[in-house]
Structure 1
Amino acid sequence: MKATSTMESLFRAVANASEWAAKTGTLSRVRLDCWSQRVTVLATDSVAMCLTSAPAETTEARHTWLEITRPDLEALTKAVKPGATKESKEAQVSLNFVPEEGLHVQTGTDDFTFKDIYREGEADPLGGLMGYFTEWRTEQVSYPMGVMLSATYLARLNRMRKEAPDIGAHIIVPDPAEPVLIKLGRYTRVVIQPIDPVRHVKAFGGGVLWD
């Protein structure tokens, strides 16, 4: 299945996802999905996960996906990083998804292939995570709730590439014990598992909670 996006849109999607992919182990990979009119990138390190997307023109109204290693994601990020000019940012990049073979990428000057590491029938650690972004209900609650999150993960939000510098993060807290949902602009969603405040107080002492 083939898709076409701009260098700027695809770069933002893959660069933001790379912030959340595990550096080692079975989760040192990302899932790329080609849908009708968009390409998504899903990454996790088991504590937090991120789903980014890039608008795209696709050749077929169907869905396909594959997985590549984190090093290949980093190589892809470098390959599609645009220059500073508007022409470079709006340049087209072509993607060809061939499951069990690889992702073929064509920029204006170079061709790249990134191997699909998933094989049908194998355990798929990323396969069940998409539901966090599609099935969670995000109705607002009528009372304030406190939640404790790792500052390390919050700092990543500030490093992520956005459509505009001042776009804020919309944060939903379904329940203090449930994952926090964050929307950063139109194309990036993040889910972060909260810290148990009782265990945190035991580990670091009083004064670490808002009281």
Structure 2
Amino acid sequence: MNEKLSRPCARLASDGPRPPLSMLAALRVLGTGLLVALGLSLLAACQSPEQELASMVDSNRRDLLALEGTAGLGKKVHGRVARRVERARELIRRTPPTSPAACMNGARLLVRSDSAVDLALAEELGRLAAAAGLQDALPLVAEAVDRQLLISDRPQRYGTVYVWVPVLKAWRLYDVDPTTTDEDRAAMGVRPFRELVAREQELNGERWQDRIR
């Protein structure tokens, strides 16, 4: 009796092609990948605005360090940085930063923007962080000021901005206001003018030649 019942079950189990082991393995990997992605999404959702700002700053730092000395940011990195700027703007408008560190991180993200409104906000956040004792925020304030001048086609005040010149295939220190002194720069945590010029030479040095040709 048991043997008769077991035969149809055996036939059903053997009917039709079985998925190959490689397919089963792929499905298992896919399932694991979906779980990981879901976990990361939930983790991001659980982050506070200040934690998310800090996380985006770290991501920006990795992207920008990887491309230092190359011809611009590159489309992919530029897109990622731009998305982080948008997200930072959204977070800051929805939940204004209350800690000096969050103000500084907001400034670090928004200073990468090409928008005058974002750059003005970056300057404001940087000044708040500096007033609260984070002196490392002062160079961010200087850069925000310089970038605002850059997009309005005026000489930068401190000398924090370098621009890529395609015709020369080289980086150049953007025009600097000659009335700004090294004392003015020092007050904002910016290096002396001669060191800013030397930095231009570093960006165009042999170390980067293969990467910018």
* Length-normalised TM-score, structure 1: 0.21
Structure with bigger RCO (C-alpha 8 Å, 6+ apart): 1
Q: Which has the higher strand share?
A: 1
Q: Which has the larger radius of gyration?
A: 2
Q: Which has the higher helix share?
A: 2
